[in-house]
Structure 1
Amino acid sequence: MKDGKIALEYYGHGNTPTTLWTSRSIGKSVVSTLVGIAIQQEKIDSVDDPIIKYLPDLQGTAWQHVTLKQILQHTSGVEWNEDYTDPVSDFAHMTYCEAKINPDECVYQLVKNVKAKNKPGEVWSYNTGGAWLVGKVLEAATGQNIAAYLQDNLWKKAGMEREGVWHSYQRDVTDMGGHGFNATLRDYARFALFVSREGKLSNGQKLLPDHWLADSSNWTQARNSVTPEYPKGQYGYQWWNYHPTSGTPLSSKNMDATFWGRGIFGQRMAINPKNNIVMVQWSAWDSARPSAEIENENALFFNAVTNYLNQ
């Protein structure tokens, strides 16, 4: 979409405008945005709050000194294996839990019993277990499950055409905080537009704090986030910094200030407020990350689209 208008809309694999497609980890970006709304509503005081303020049962665990900001930025310092090819990784165990009769308790015990590895805030390490806790903080602070809070405080207000659906651990009680959101393609695009407009609705109502967009894309300087390819850092409040790292893009400057939602198997959301462009990609790749170059190839493609739309 360019300037709020559809430039291209295409569906493959039999999908249609009414299909609800899984977000994978773009759901993390949605939950992060809901945290911003909860802060605007004063249901959460600050991202600097320790998470035990909302989840006191985590006192005495590896999470007790971790702030909400640190789990949003994935700098909690806890030990977590996110390897999607490892059948005994923490992420794999989380997936196994989600197939059980009482998945919420199973995941809770998994996440609660991880060990501290680094001092909070010092090292970036992608962690769906921490993202799951962001969802639990949101539910504890608002008194609603994620799906209900989304529906009442964003989806209805932003004029989405269909309900957003969460994979639920317990219907009307608790949902997956790290992934599991589903929406239509157009509603994903509407969500991206909402974020690009800093949380402002068409009637002028502002749902996000004034600084939220800038803070969300203020990339953490923790070790592993800052790399030769990403000297400014590569991760914010569950949004990614993402640009071509090799190849010859037509002009990389058009991608400046773009931030991304990313999910395995090729789910992408690009938000470029500077050029008033948002892009959403659904995919069904045959593996979580088909090649080492896939991220760069994806970025080159979106860079070319951005250049075309800016002609």
Structure 2
Amino acid sequence: MRMVIGLAAALALGGAAQAQVPLDPKTPSILFWTPQQQSDGYRAMEKVYKAETVKRGTKVHPLPLAAKQIAPTWEHEGKAWTVDSYMAAYNVSGILVLKDGKIVLEKYGMGRRPQDRWTSFSVAKSVTSTLVGAAIQDGKIKSLSAPVTDYIPELKGSGYDGVTVRQLLMMSSGVKWNEDYVDPNSDVSRSTTLPMEPGKNSLVTYMSRLPRAHPPGTMFNYSTGETDLVGILVSNAVGKSVSEYASEKIWKPYGMDSDAIWVTDPAGHERGGCCMSLTLRDYGRVGQFILDGGKAGGKQILPPTWTIEATTPQITSGTRERGYGYFWWMPDSGAYEARGIFGQSITTYRDDRIIIVTNAAWPRATGRDLSMARNAFIKAAYEAAKGN
């Protein structure tokens, strides 16, 4: 099931009709970039696709070096590994491990520098769900139980009638959605091929025509379209773009070190489900912001219980994991994770206050061998940091 979900997310990005707009029409599908195209493109997505900027503020949240750094070693598949050998073997451009808000490990590969951004792929989903929390705290979204149609009225009279914001965040709307990429008539293929209509978002139009398959809240169904839909919902609720809102609620008050880049869809709307670009340390700050309970500058940005609820299993995801929260995964390790294809992740162990970030350019979007190798590294890094 995890492989299917990963492939679905990958193909949503790289199908014949892309959900983002290449600046050069000859740009190949992102699924089939060469290693050099990955290395160049992942750190400069704004040069490949149309994008907006999430502006940083004037202060930077400090991430001081811990007095003692870690150098984990581990065994995997009968071979001894170090951080350097793992990074070289799996095209890893950055690794960051924080404990109690301090850096215990930071390394770069593939010629990447600390100031270089790297694309998030689906890690952006977790930022989008966080912005829902901010909008609730601001009173712009009434509550998690508010109807989705209150904020996207074009969905009234559709399969989304009666679906709540919470159910959308759990990927459990009950609306029928097919992510079969063998079939060119699947929803995820067809939803990106619709003609643009003035004043309308073609994704919303397409999804308003989908039928109900299950009662809302009863069935997890990974839906690429619905994650982008949540970005539109947030923007409508707060009356500004999600880039502006992310800058106002997280980047400026929490103190990110760099502007972020957020790729847009054909309608010019930032994709709620994909493709932000952050520096390695800013990925760590996103994790730390959640671990700190959604506070910034002495102010509660998110509802007081939001970060616990969002990162606690809310529904069974059909995998061997503990479940799914609000665009966060719950692996069996007890951590919670934001994940993106090709090797992007933020893994947090709440009780130990340990955050592990990986950025990579895997040779394939997903795969059990790739995930297991990363899990082995994460486990070793966690154990080393915990004993530090």
Say whether the fold is shared (TM-score over 0.5).
yes
- Judging by fraction of residues, say which structure has more strand: 2
CA contact (8 A) 1:104 1:170 kept: no
- Counterpart check, 1:67 vs 2:67: no
Counterparts of 2:235 and 2:221 in 1: how far apart (Å)?
A: 24
CA contact (8 A) 1:97 1:103 kept: no
Counterparts of 2:191 and 2:380 in 1: how far apart (Å)?
A: 37
- 1:104 to partner: Cα distance: 7.2
Counterparts of 1:118 and 1:182 in 2: how far apart (Å)?
A: 35
Counterparts of 1:182 and 1:32 in 2: how far apart (Å)?
A: 17
TM-score by length of 2: 0.69
Structure 2 SS opposite 1:8: strand
Alignment match, 2:215: 119
Structure 1: stretches of 5+ with no match in the other structure: 244-254
1:159-190 deviation digits (Å, cap 9, x = unpaired): 1111121112379x631111121111111111
Alignment match, 1:261: 338
| More RCO (CA 8 Å, sep 6+) | 2
Q: After superposition, where does 1:210-221 map in structure 2 within 5 Å?
A: 210-221=304-315
Choose from 130, 154, 162 the match for 1:33. Answer: 130
Structure 1 SS opposite 2:351: helix
Amino acid at match of 1:13: M
Choose from 360, 364, 371 the match for 1:283. Answer: 360
- Counterpart check, 1:20 vs 2:117: yes
- 1:151 to partner: Cα distance: 0.8
1:58-84 deviation digits (Å, cap 9, x = unpaired): 011111221110110001112223356
Choose from 159, 167, 174 the match for 2:269. Answer: 174
* Distance change in 2, residues 1:205/1:105 (3 Å): closer
- 1:109 to partner: Cα distance: 2.9
* Distance change in 2, residues 1:9/1:219 (3 Å): same
Structure 2 SS opposite 1:31: helix
Structure 2 SS opposite 1:176: coil
* Distance change in 2, residues 1:180/1:45 (3 Å): same
Structure 1 SS opposite 2:308: helix
Query: Which structure has the larger Rg over C-alpha atoms?
Result: 2
Structure 2 SS opposite 1:28: helix
Q: How many residues align?
A: 290
* Distance change in 2, residues 1:264/1:95 (3 Å): farther
Q: After superposition, where does 1:1-311 map in structure 2 within 5 Å?
A: 1-83=98-180, 89-94=186-191, 105-169=201-265, 174-201=269-296, 203-222=297-316, 225=317, 229-230=320-321, 233-243=322-332, 255-256=333-334, 258-289=335-366, 291-311=367-387
Alignment match, 1:248: none
Counterparts of 2:265 and 2:232 in 1: how far apart (Å)?
A: 12
Structure 2 SS opposite 1:57: helix
* Distance change in 2, residues 1:286/1:102 (3 Å): farther
- 1:273 to partner: Cα distance: 2.0
TM-score by length of 1: 0.85
- 1:137 to partner: Cα distance: 1.0
